[in-house]
Amino acid sequence: MTTTTSPQKTGSPAIGSQVRDYFERVRGGDLGALPAVIGLVVLCAVFASLSPSFLSPINFANLFTQGAGVTVIAMGLVFVLLLGEIDLSAGFASGVCAAVMAVLLTNEGWPWYLSVLAAMVTGVLIGLVLGVLVAKLGIPSFVVTLAAFLAFQGVALILLDEGTNISIRDETILAVANSNLPPLLGWAVLVVGVLIYAGIQLTQMRRRLGRGLLADSFAVIAVRVGALAVVSGVAVYVLNLERSRNPALISLSGVPIVVPVILVLLIVWTFALHRTAYGRHVYAVGGNAEAARRAGINVDRIRISAFVICSFMASIGGIIAASRANSVDPNTGGSTVLLFAVGAAVIGGTSLFGGKGRVLDALLGGAVVAVVINGMGLMGYSASVKYVVTGAVLLLSAGVDALSRKRASASGRR
């Protein structure tokens, strides 16, 4: 009965019609991750042609460790941006959390896991305070987090005794951004990951077809799984190449440990956003807060939780940054970190107007940001040029967002 009277047709649409639907969406202004992917390809091609060392294995590995901190912060920012809010303090929040960890770890001699836990709890508390101020008091998030941006700089200075540099000597913490997985383990993680992804996609297809619902066709799933396998396969292969200048002295190969860390975070938050009622409510509040309220969703609680997640992710970003720098100083999480993180999220396709975005966007955008910084560094540009270019990239991506939104509302896809 459902097959005849419902608007749904059973079975899978042809791959051609899915491709056509996709182009129609893009033309209608729903760009998704397209600008980030195109930008990534173009930037890589430009830098590779201008600077031969850009494509070297060691630089490829550097891209991951350089971009990791900013990407993790951007992943957290996605939640705040989804609500149409902003967290300008995420950068220095990460600095404060890193300082808490460094003080406990190095000065107080705490074990690494307790220090990390303390840093994460600090992040959660920061988010709680920001969220309550925004949601309950109704202060615009821009103002609250701008104030916090200033205040956290001061807090970091206090924690670090007015500006000393605390070095990190704990092996575990240092390993996060400086050590690699054994090459075989890298391959094993890749194979297991791709198989699990394929398994999830196929069981989902079978379940939906079994119930007579519209499902992705086998070809689409094959393309998706194949693309994932190829891209990640190439990445793992290159990362497993020997990249030490003097392999006899010290061998350097394998997937950096930050990569699986980021992937786990990506999976956890993507699951939360797309498979749980909580994630659905985040999108609803970002899309139409009044409708969400009438649907019985506690809008304030969703707002606060988004800030908590953002600051929590900032704390992880701070730990990664500290690991990479081998130390924490008052500038950890400062200067460009926040703008790069916001830029990463927006370049990836997260809208500044709320309601649209994915955690994966932060990863793609983070890759673009990392490539820009890295490539320009290789070409020997000064900091001044880097700032100008990165600012231009951020502005460009926000412009693309605004224009696609305009286009989308004109074509009824707002």
Binding region for another protein (CB under 8 A) = 1-2, 5-8, 28, 207-208, 211, 213-214, 275-277, 280-281, 283-284, 286-288, 290-292, 294-297, 355-356, 408, 412-414
Tell me the Cα Rg of the chain: 22
Closest residue by Cα to residue 18 from 176, 167, 209, 214: 214
Give least dist CB 331 to another protein, A.
Answer: 38
Residue 260 CA to residue 252 CA, distance in Å, equals 18
State which residue, 208 or 386, has the beta carbon closest to another protein. 208
Give least dist CB 21 to another protein, A.
Answer: 9
State which residue, 347 or 408, has the beta carbon closest to another protein. 408
Residue 257 CA to residue 393 CA, distance in Å, equals 29
Q: How far is CA 95 from the centre of its chain?
A: 18
State which residue, 20 or 275, has the beta carbon closest to another protein. 275
Give, to the nearest 10 degrees, the angle between helix 57-82 and helix 218-240: 130
State which residue, 169 or 206, has the beta carbon closest to another protein. 206
Residue 101 CA to residue 117 CA, distance in Å, equals 8
Chain position carrying tokens 């997985």? 181
Give least dist CB 202 to another protein, A.
Answer: 15
Residue 52 CA to residue 177 CA, distance in Å, equals 25
State which residue, 49 or 203, has the beta carbon closest to another protein. 203
Give least dist CB 281 to another protein, A.
Answer: 8
Give least dist CB 14 to another protein, A.
Answer: 15
Give least dist CB 12 to another protein, A.
Answer: 13
Helices (H), 83-182: 90-102, 112-135, 141-159, 171-178
Longest dimension (CA), the chain: 73
Give, to the nearest 10 degrees, the angle between helix 277-287 and helix 57-82: 70
State which residue, 258 or 309, has the beta carbon closest to another protein. 309
3-state secondary structure of 328: strand
Give least dist CB 346 to another protein, A.
Answer: 16
Residue 165, number of CB atoms within 10 A of its CB: 14
What separation, in Å, do the N-terminal and C-terminal C-alpha atoms of the chain show?
A: 34
Closest residue by Cα to residue 287 from 355, 208, 378, 195: 355
Give least dist CB 409 to another protein, A.
Answer: 8
State which residue, 57 or 287, has the beta carbon closest to another protein. 287
State which residue, 293 or 386, has the beta carbon closest to another protein. 293
The sign of the CA dihedral 12, 17, 18, 19 is positive
